[in-house]
Amino acid sequence: MLKEYGYVRVGSAVPSLKVADIEYNTREIINQINNANEKQVQILCFPELAVTGYTCSDLFNQDILLDNVQKSLIDIMNATKNLGLVVIVGAPLRTENKIFNTAVVIQNGKILGIVPKLNIPNYNEFYEKRWFASAQDAKQKYIEILDTNIPFGIDLLFKDKQNKNICFGIEICEDLWVVNPPSNSLTVNGATIIFNLSASNEIIGKEEYRKDIVRVQSAKTISAYVYTSSGVNESTTDVVFSGQALIYENGALLKENERFDFESNLIYSEVDVKRLMNDRQKNISYLNSNELYKEYRNIEIEIQDNIENLSREYSKTPFVPANDKKKITTCREILNIQSYGLAKRIKAIGINTVIIGISGGLDSSLAFLVAIKAYEILNLDKANIIAVTMPGFGTSSRTYTNAMNLIEQYGATLKEISIKDACEKHFENIGQDKEVHDITYENAQARERTQVLMDIANQKNGIVIGTGDLSELALGWCTYNGDHMSMYGVNNSIPKTLIKYLIKYVADTSENEVIKTTLYNILETPISPELLPLNDQGNIRQLTEEVVGPYMLNDFFMYHFLRYGAEPNKILKMAEHTFKEEFSREQIKEKLQIFIKRFFTNQFKRSCVPDGPKVGTISLSPRGDWRMPSDASYQMWYKNII
């Protein structure tokens, strides 16, 4: 079951409705409760005043309407007796000689609490003050409903008795649109999920604005936000409602419905309260919201642990933007950050020469493209980019040709230096059999290349541009004091999966056909350090992903491990769900074990990485983003993978 991982399945239901027909509306609400229960929804929210309809106007003052609301609540309570899910339904309730617009929270046949609307609109087409009192006008903390005293007020938090982090608060429609929404305080005081029962009409441009305000509030409060608005079956006397339903988590849209549906509809998704709490505990600004701490009454709920499988989707490439339009702008922004970071370093040092080792692989190609852009920014002669290709024992004609093409087409200065003789002499000096292709054989080549680059930098009064990426740093897939070292590492916070998209973006937008063709060829080349001799056909036989696992999996592991502090077994569950078409559970488990072990045992390589620009939310720089003992044990994390 998934509750132990922090998952709660929340739902937003927009039922079919007849204005002021409480009997019909109650049947539809119960139908949706049963529908949600079949889908293992644990908390279900309905729109504002769903029992009566939002647009009853002066009918709200009719005794028959208000009396039948009580009967409706009895029916809804009875319908939930044996289900276990929590239901939040909008209803007008009469107490203290006033009528309140409320959210009624029901579970297991009982009303647990009632939250009245605080901010009552009184403008344009909305004249709610004509009928409803504000929560601040309420004098009592409890009201009698169906012969039972029920907690009443905006100071209610509903907490799971087993996991206190599964906690929700409620605000109603206009409450979100004011300067200081109740959810600001609700979340600071423990709510990880906010439910909003709303009735928001449609006018031009309002849909996007509504989504923006929900998205931003979710991000600002580091919460899940479930928004449910009245549907198109409301009265269209003066306005039209669309029935928008949204589920956001920390600013990310998890689910939305199709608006303007005359039939009842339901959306649902799991929200991850562990992920939210991890973000909150790292956010000092969030914790310092002292003025928002208040006294709240905690209402105990019991969230079922009945979810067997995830329904929410995770990106297979979480570092890569999801839609094509955003990919273009993001790629442009990343290249700007990298290249302006390098340009500033060049200006600060007061040089005009950089040295870069270019192999024709993904990492060095991106670093070279960044250097080209930095020189364009500074209006420097690209001939001062000294691109050094250093063929070794495993260099293929494919990567060699691609490197030569890039250097020539961009007008950098080519310097070709074979490292074979130097490495063989080094093997002789240290007594290494050159036929033994072990770690010494491989790392000697990487260190020889770094020595060449550093010495040329001294000769030319320049700096060496590092090419290693974030994925390699996480896995320790770099030679200590070899490709691990430079004066400025432009790819330090770029994972392998994102590097591919950045190179593809440059290829797609290039007007030079040779550059375009070369970059596409680089994208199709197997990832390899090319440190072992080629096979008899002259092809690469050392494939990185056969050793450390597919970078798509490793980047997925790294993202959820570093960004949200997810435990390995939870990552395994997420990856199993996400990559079910590509990998078996055992394959994912094996690669995750490799990742955890390599991540911990290679921290010493990250403790001294060179400067480089942070691009996304994740970086392994020891100077800010990731500080970890180099000799920390990985056993607890490793054993968690079951």
Contacts 24+ apart (CB under 8 A), 417-421: 417/388, 417/389, 417/390, 417/452, 418/390, 418/391, 418/392, 419/390, 419/391, 419/392, 419/445, 419/448, 419/449, 419/452, 420/391, 420/392, 420/393
Residue 288 phi, psi (nearest 5): -90, 15
Q: Which of 167, 173, 331, 423 is catalytic?
A: 173
End-to-end distance of the chain based on CA atoms, in angstroms? 14
The one-letter code for the residue type at 490 is: V
Distances (CA, A) of 564 to 66, 272, 273, 458: 47, 10, 11, 42
- Whether 56 is catalytic is no
Catalytic residue among 3, 117, 159, 605: 117
Dmax over CA atoms of the chain, in Å, equals 100
71 to each of 66, 112, 242, 430, 575, how far by Cα in Å?
9, 17, 28, 90, 47
**Six-digit token string for 59:** 């009918």
- Let me know: does 186 contact 176? Beta carbons within 8 Å: no
SS3 call for 600: helix
Q: How far apart are CA 553 and CA 568, in angstroms?
A: 13
Q: Is position 48 annotated as part of the catalytic site? A: yes
Q: How far apart are CA 474 and CA 495, in angstroms?
A: 9
Residue 256 CA neighbour count, 13 Å, CB half: 16
Rounded distance between C-alpha atoms, residue 257 and residue 210, angstroms: 14
423 in catalytic set: no
For the beta carbon of residue 261, count every other beta carbon within 10 angstroms.
16
Which H or E element spans position 272?
Answer: strand 265-272
Residue 383: CB atoms within 10 Å: 11
- 114, 152 contact by CB (below 8 A): yes
Helix (H, G, I), strand (E, B) or coil at 269: strand
The rounded distance, in Å, linking the Cα atoms of 159 and 177 is 25
d(CA 358, CA 406): 9
Single out the residue of 598, 614, 636, 76 nearest to residue 338, CA to CA.
614
Contact 237, 55 (CB under 8 A): yes
588 close to 579: Cβ distance less than 8 angstroms: yes
Annotated catalytic residue: which of 48, 128, 202, 472? 48
Evaluate whether 91 touches 69 at the Cβ level (below 8 Å). Answer: yes
DSSP secondary structure code for residue 81 in this structure: T
The set of catalytic residues is 48, 117, 173
